[in-house]
Structure formats: C-alpha cells, structure tokens
Chain A
C-alpha cells in the first residue's frame, strides 16, 4: 500500500499539483498510515526521488523543484503536530543570501527540502552580512552555513562567501562549521565554489539539501572523534 501512496504522491508533486498531493496524504492517513510514516516513508523518499529525477530526467524543471519543497514543507509541518514524539533532528543550518543579493527563490527551495528532511533551518533572510552568517551559526550551533547568490559579484565578491571563509578561519571555526554555496553563477563555472572558499555547492535547490546533509554528517563525525 505504501508503495502505491509514494507513487501517487510523487506523481502529484511531479505535476506540481499541491491539492492532489494533500489529498493523497489525507487518504493515506484515513487508511491507517501514521504521520511519522507520511514524513519518513512518503515525503522524504519523494524528495530523494526528485533528486534522482533532476539528474536523469531532461524535463525536470525549476517549477517542480519549487513545488517539491513547498509541498514537502507544508505536509511535514502538518504531520509534525501529529507525531507521537519529537523527531530526531539531523542537524542545523543557517541560510541566507549573500550581502548585496536579494534573490530568495533558491534559498526557499533548499530550506523547504531541508525542513522536510528533519534539518533545523535558521532563515537569515536576504542581503546578509558575512559576520552575521558566522555569529548566527555559532549562536544556533549550526554545522553548516548556506549562502545563496544569484549575481556574479555577490557570488565572488569580497563581502560574500570569501569573507565568511576568512572569518571562520580567523575564529578557528572551520572544523565545526562547513560552508555551502548555490546560485546561478556557480552553474557556469563549476570550480567557482572552491575559488570562493566553500566546502560544497549544488546546481539546484533540491540536490543542495543532500549536499548540506552530507556536510552535517562530516561535522558530526569530526565532533565524535
């Protein structure tokens, strides 16, 4: 039964049909599926499937990424209120757009996917100063800082990721906090993320969630040793 629910839910997300996706979840719950199963066995696998689809399906598109994140967030928020106990949080990330950049679409997609995948996300908003990224990461004990930049000068400039990297270095925080970037300029030069001092990047919002979760794992492993 669960397999057919996942399939129907994925189809609804693929068609960017939010109402249909919600209806499938409601029907599933009527049939005895728990809120935990909806999140962990339907929503999260659907995001993972979208990640794989982005790589393999030439018609996968931004509208689908947006709706994947949007539907996943809304379903998860609704389900969390019905969880028998609070779920285990994978880790914490602070996210914002680089200083001078007000483009928030990519950030919104990444945040939606991360929340559904049980990552605690602190939204720092747009046009965020480098020291704010670091201060807030320390304050919330975040393992990852995510910086979105849609313009070349905000992606590569001195007030974006480069400066955040310098501050992390100056304050000896590099082993504890990883740095991820995303946004259009990085797609045109896939080595740019290294040039600006990031630990990782992703070409789209949905796969960015995976990159961030992997980096959280790295920090956790480092902390454990």
Chain B
C-alpha cells in the first residue's frame, strides 16, 4: 500500500499494514540543501526539493507545501519577514498598524495570481508531480480567527477582539475568512490533499467555552463550509482541545484530530473512537534533550494508546531544528515498529 492508501485506510478503518506516520520537517529543508533559511524559502523549487529529500532520507509518509506560517500575511502586503538560521521565519512588520488600516485591507480576487502565491504554487506543482499519487501532501490553513494575529500581532488582535468595536472586528474576520476560503480552493486545486486547519481560538484554553461557542465555532463554520472538510485536520497549534472534540465533530464534521501532547490521548481516542482519526502527537520539544531510547519509549506509549481500534495516526509537532538527527531516526523507526499491525 502507498502512504496515501494507508492514510485512507486509517480514515475508513480499513485493514492496513501500519498506521500513517507524519513528520513535520519544515525548517530542516534549508540545512538539507545547504542553504540559508532566507535562500531556501525564496524558492518553491527549493522547498519542494527539501521536502522530497527529507522524506526520502527519513522515510515518513508526508510532505509539506508550507513555507512558514507568516506567508499568508504577504498576500495582504507584508514585505518584511524576519529569518533565522536557527528556526522558523516570522512576520517582522505588521500590515495593520492601526484600526483604520482594516478598512484598507484587500483580499486578492484571485490569490493564485498574486505574487505571494507564485513560489507556493511552484512547490505544490512539483510535489504533486513527484508524489501526488502516492503520498499525503500537506497544506497549512490559518483560520480566520487566527490570521489577524499575523496581520496586526496577537496582542493587538486580542485587544480588538475583546475590547474593540464589533463591526470592525467582524470586517477583519470576514476578510480573513474570505481569504481562507480562496486559499482552501487554491491549495486543493494545486494538489494538497491534507489540509491542516489551525487555530488556537479553537480551544477553550484560549477563549473559554462561552466565547468558543459564540465566536470561534461560527467563524470556523464560515471558513470551512464552502469548501467542505474533505482532508481537513483539526489542529490548535499544539494546544489541548479534548473538551471541544464532540461539538467540532458534530458541527463541523471534521474527521481528523491532531491531539496536543499536553492533552490526555486516551481520553481523546475514547471521544473520537471510530468516528474519526485520532492523531497521537509526540512532544517534540522534549525530543531536543531526550535520548533516542526516551524518544522510542514515548512513541511506544502513544502507539499503545492509539493503535487499538485503528483510526489512528502518529504525528509530530513543529520539529524544532535543535532536535538531534538520532532522535528523529529513533522516533520514526519506533513509529514503524510499534505502529505496525499484525
């Protein structure tokens, strides 16, 4: 079976030789090609080549079309990204400097015609051509409730959200949601088949239960309903969200849940059962200092919890660059070993 077929088997609960094994090696691509982060992320060809080389070397199932999270801000005019050779690039100049700027914000009519799409489009085209029929190609979707933090900074966004005028807040969210809907269509058309929908506002730890129901849920519905949830993964930026799995399943019909290492995986697996896929996610920040043996033991623990009953996937967080390569290899070897079905 191909990794794509193994993923489909996990979704449908069909027989497969093993669980799907996802590993998110994003910043490692530059090192793999011997480039600086700035050089690497300047080209879709480099990012695709980096992803394909890393997948081939480590043997995990998926590749990524994500450059860096802040790239979405470039569609709205952001021109300044802060690069670091130690980690992920970040937005260095927020495009919304005052609330008046919200009105001026323009969502491109056709985002695939925007210069910010060009390299992502190239990357997806190469990935689709090389592994599109056999491997999951992941795309990253920043939810409308979270995209404002890339445009104005999280503290300014929280201020507008909690204390600002509702009409202005909604105007910004509408623009962000419209952009996201266009992005979903664009990445799907270009070959992405796993869409990681991301929002810390999809947890009660961020906004509390009341605001989750009255604010986050309606905007998530608005983001996802037009394109449907085929291939969509619910991910809250490594925050725990067990307490909202049921409402998200019932109202959004998302099928795959990326469970935080801070959450109780056993509880999540019980809630999700065979109605969706539970992703057991390793705490890859601890992998910076763990030994390969400790890494293996944690993979085994996750697989022991998640594998019974199938509908299970092994995954990582953001895989910091500081993780020793021996630990990445130990993690993946253990995932293949403990993730195999008899």
- Which residues of A are at the interface with B, using a C-beta cutoff of 8 A? 16, 18, 58-64, 66-67, 70, 100-105, 108, 127, 151-154, 156-158, 184-185, 187-189, 191-192, 195
Contact of B91 among A64, A102, A187 (CB under 8 A): A102
Contact of A192 among B84, B87, B155, B285 (CB under 8 A): B285
- Which residues of B are at the interface with A, using a C-beta cutoff of 8 A? 82, 84, 86-88, 90-92, 153-155, 158-159, 161-163, 204-209, 211, 238, 243, 261-262, 283, 285-286, 288-289, 317-318, 320-322
Residues in A whose Cβ lies below 8 Å from that of B87 = 100, 151-154, 157
Residues in B whose Cβ lies below 8 Å from that of A191 = 289
Query: Are A153 and B285 in contact, with the CB atoms below 8 A?
Result: no
Residues in B whose Cβ lies below 8 Å from that of A192 = 285
Task: Tell me the interface secondary structure of chain B in the complex.
Answer: mixed
Contact of B286 among A127, A158, A189 (CB under 8 A): A189
Known: A188-B261, A189-B289. A61 touches B155 (CB 8 A): no
Query: Are A61 and B204 in contact, with the CB atoms below 8 A?
Result: yes
Query: Are A108 and B155 in contact, with the CB atoms below 8 A?
Result: yes
Residues in B whose Cβ lies below 8 Å from that of A184 = 238
Residue of B nearest to A66 (CB): B158
Task: Tell me the interface secondary structure of chain A in the complex.
Answer: helix
Query: Are B205 and A156 in contact, with the CB atoms below 8 A?
Result: no
A60–B206 alpha-carbon span in the complex (Å): 9
Residue of A nearest to B153 (CB): A104
Query: Are A105 and B322 in contact, with the CB atoms below 8 A?
Result: no
22 contacts between A and B (CB under 8 A): A18-B163, A58-B243, A64-B208, A66-B155, A70-B163, A100-B82, A100-B87, A102-B82, A104-B155, A105-B153, A127-B82, A152-B87, A153-B320, A153-B322, A154-B84, A156-B288, A156-B322, A157-B87, A184-B238, A188-B286, A188-B317, A189-B285
- Taking each of A61, A70, A185, which has the highest tally of chain B beta carbons within 10 Å of its own beta carbon? A61
B11 to chain A, nearest CB (A): 28
The 8 closest A-B CB pairs, nearest first, are: A153-B87, A152-B320, A153-B86, A188-B285, A105-B155, A61-B208, A105-B154, A108-B155
Residue of A nearest to B155 (CB): A105
Residues in B whose Cβ lies below 8 Å from that of A158 = 86
Query: Are B90 and A61 in contact, with the CB atoms below 8 A?
Result: no
Known: A156-B288, A188-B261, A189-B285. A101 touches B208 (CB 8 A): no
Contact of A66 among B162, B204, B261, B262 (CB under 8 A): B162
B133 to chain A, nearest CB (A): 34
Query: Are A101 and B262 in contact, with the CB atoms below 8 A?
Result: no
A184–B285 alpha-carbon span in the complex (Å): 10
A148–B87 alpha-carbon span in the complex (Å): 16
Query: Are B91 and A63 in contact, with the CB atoms below 8 A?
Result: no
Query: Are B88 and A59 in contact, with the CB atoms below 8 A?
Result: no
Known: A151-B88, A153-B320, A157-B87. A63 touches B286 (CB 8 A): no
Known: A103-B154, A151-B87, A153-B320. A61 touches B207 (CB 8 A): yes
